[in-house]
């Protein structure tokens, strides 16, 4: 079984997409990105799945544990839910955060177009003023316009950074 992220749906030819497993929420994402690709996908043999609430919660927990939750969309979490619920399947994604989580939880993955990530990442908040670091808050949302928090030491802005 193959779990296909949106990058596979957008970049692969129809014969490679056929037989893949995708989250139902990806249909709306594809429709917004490319009408013609959306119409083509409707004609293919794709297993569209709505992940269960339990698997969505498990995906959030895994993403929170690696520190990647803040950078994932709802669709990303749905794709991760499918990858977690279909152990033994390969996740095809160019999303480095999904690759990071997959590596941490022994999910087989491969890239679609970009080079595969090679290392496990971890994240922290770093102050732009005093350079202090702290853990990423569990409710930190990178989708909001000003994705910073205030430093408790100096009051400057802290941004999420990948740890070296």
Are residues 154 and 76 located together in one domain of the fold?
Answer: no
Q: Is residue 78 included in any domain, yes or no?
A: yes
Q: Is residue 117 included in any domain, yes or no?
A: no
Question: Domain holding 71: CATH number?
Answer: 3.40.50.1010
Which long-range contacts does 10-13 make (Cβ < 8 Å, 24+ apart)?
A: 10/34, 10/37, 11/112, 11/113, 12/112
- Note down the domain range covering 151: 123-162
pTM here is 0.77
pLDDT string in tens for the chain (164-residue length) = 899 999 999 999 999 999 999 999 999 999 999 999 999 999 999 999 999 999 999 999 998 888 788 788 999 999 999 999 988 899 999 999 999 999 999 999 999 998 877 777 777 889 999 999 988 776 666 555 566 788 999 999 998 887 76
Are residues 131 and 90 located together in one domain of the fold?
Answer: no
Instruction: Please count the structural domains in the chain.
Output: 2
């Amino acid at each position: 079984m193959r779990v296909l992220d949106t990058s596979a749906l957008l970049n692969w030819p129809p014969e490679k997409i056929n037989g893949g497993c995708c989250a139902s929420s990806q249909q709306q994402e594809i429709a917004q990105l490319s009408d013609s690709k959306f119409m083509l996908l409707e004609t293919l043999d794709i297993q569209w799945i709505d992940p269960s609430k339990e698997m969505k919660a498990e995906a959030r927990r895994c993403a929170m544990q690696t520190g990647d939750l803040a950078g994932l969309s709802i669709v990303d979490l749905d794709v991760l839910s499918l990858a977690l619920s279909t152990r033994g399947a390969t996740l095809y994604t160019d999303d480095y955060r999904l690759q990071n989580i997959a590596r941490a939880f022994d999910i087989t993955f491969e890239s679609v177009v970009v080079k595969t990530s090679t290392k496990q990442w971890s994240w922290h908040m770093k102050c732009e003023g005093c350079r202090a670091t702290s853990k990423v808050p569990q409710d930190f949302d990178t989708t909001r316009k000003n994705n910073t928090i205030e430093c408790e030491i100096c009051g400057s802005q802290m941004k999420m950074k990948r740890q070296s």
